[in-house]
Amino acid sequence: MFNTKITEMLGIKYPILCGGMQWISRAEFVAPVCNAGGIGFITAESFETPEDLRTEIKKMHDLTDKPFGVNISMVPEFGLPERSLQFCDVAVEEGVKVVETAGRSPKPLMPTLKGAGIKVIHKMTSVRHAESAQKLGVDAVTLIGYGSGGHIGMDNVASFIMIPMAVSRLDIPVIAGGGVADGKGFLGALAMGAEAVLMGTAFFATQECPAHNAIKERLVQTRETETCLLLNSIHNPIRCVKNKLADECLALEEKNASFEEIITAVAGGKGKLAYDSGDTDISPIACGQIVGAIDEIKSVKQVIDDIVNEAEDMMKRLNGITA
Ligand SMILES: Cc1cc2nc3c(=O)[nH]c(=O)nc-3n(C[C@H](O)[C@H](O)[C@H](O)COP(=O)(O)O)c2cc1C
């Protein structure tokens, strides 16, 4: 019942995407999203080498016969475009059908990806960047709003403003990124003209997520007012849980610490350390404001089924209002 340009383009049942999440979006986690009717993206930057990514893609073929994608994040701390291009080559060689690009313009990757007929969904944080991406020939764009988890850009515009604006200005499908965890947000995004939603935080807090249970419990306890923006001072804000590490990083930023000091406080694989150990205070934990709506750790399938069922109920409500 929710057939959209994105379900058609990607050959999926529901217009629900799980955005790439470093360390988290590995085969055992992405496959359940795909098997439940959505689509997830194996996140290349979880792997040290392109060959490790290849192994993970092969694992996906064992775990699902449904479409899946690869996320290639080009944020400055992950290194040069050469590394991203090597990941692209693996995606092409392994027959991946769709790539989510993020972090900076996908321009250097487009000849490789489009030359192989791969669908490119570029994820960004402003309508003007979406217009540029459309000119580059991407197949769809995901607009990330101010309340979303992870990198949110510098424009600080809410999804409620950006999504309808992007839908009016673009010809390619628009995906509403972030701020969604239930049927109300999902249907609201579709009502604003989005062809799909993309979620991170809601899937982060699921049973299949490979992070330690203590991290997921921390998400359940975190309210919508308890996230913060790290790295604003170096113009690369990331929305995270306001934990001990976040307070330390914010204090460094407050006293104008050097770029190296600030980066050293948050980077260096600390995220993986926290996810593995369950210590919720030793690393930045990316998460969106929608975390306040998450009050239990469900299975991935339950998250998706609940969204679809609630959206159907909301449709009945809307039909009742207009009757
Ligand atoms: C724990 C976590 C890690 C993330 N890592 C990445 C990443 O490596 N690359 C990327 O493009 N986006 C990353 N994101 C952003 C998500 O893909 C997605 O855009 C975002 O979570 C959507 O907002 P929401 O959390 O409000 O649903 C991450 C988000 C979270 C919560």
| 1: three-class secondary structure by DSSP | coil
Q: Return the CATH number at 33.
A: 3.20.20.70
Q: Is the CB of 177 under 6 A from ligand 1?
A: yes
CA-nearest residue, atom 8 of ligand 1: 22
Write out pLDDT tens, residues 272-295. Answer: 899 999 999 999 999 999 999 999
Q: Ligand 1: which of 98, 99, 201 to mutate, judged by most atoms within 8 Å of the beta carbon?
A: 201
In a domain, residue 244? The reply is no
In angstroms, the CA 31 to CA 19 distance is: 13
- Total number of domains constituting the chain: 1
In angstroms, the CA 253 to CA 251 distance is: 5
CB 70 within 8 A of CB 96: yes
Q: Is the CB of 288 under 6 A from ligand 1?
A: yes
Provide the pLDDT for residue 266: 87
Residue type, 21: M
Q: Is the CB of 20 under 6 A from ligand 1?
A: yes
pLDDT tens, residue order, the chain (323 aa): 899 999 999 999 999 999 999 999 999 999 999 999 999 999 999 999 999 999 999 999 999 999 999 999 997 655 568 899 999 999 999 999 999 999 999 999 999 999 999 999 999 999 999 999 999 999 999 999 999 999 999 999 999 999 999 999 999 999 999 999 999 999 999 999 999 999 999 999 999 999 999 999 999 999 999 999 999 999 999 999 999 999 999 999 999 999 999 988 888 778 889 999 999 999 999 999 999 999 999 999 999 999 999 999 999 999 999 87
Q: How far is the CA of 321 from the centre of ligand 1 (A)?
A: 35
Determine what percent of the chain falls in helix, strand and coil, rounding each to the nearest 5: 50, 15, 35
In angstroms, the CA 55 to CA 167 distance is: 37
Helix H or strand E encompassing 131: helix 127-136
In a domain, residue 162? The reply is yes
Token pair 């001072």 is found at 233
CB 42 within 8 A of CB 63: no
| 174: three-class secondary structure by DSSP | strand
Of ligand 1's listed atoms, the one at least distance from the Cα of 149 is 25
Domain assignment of residue 83, given as a range? 5-210
In a domain, residue 216? The reply is no
In a domain, residue 255? The reply is no
In a domain, residue 42? The reply is yes
Work out the percent of the chain whose per-residue pLDDT is above 70. Answer: 98
In a domain, residue 279? The reply is no
Return the structure tokens found at 129. 């960047």
In a domain, residue 252? The reply is no
In a domain, residue 63? The reply is yes
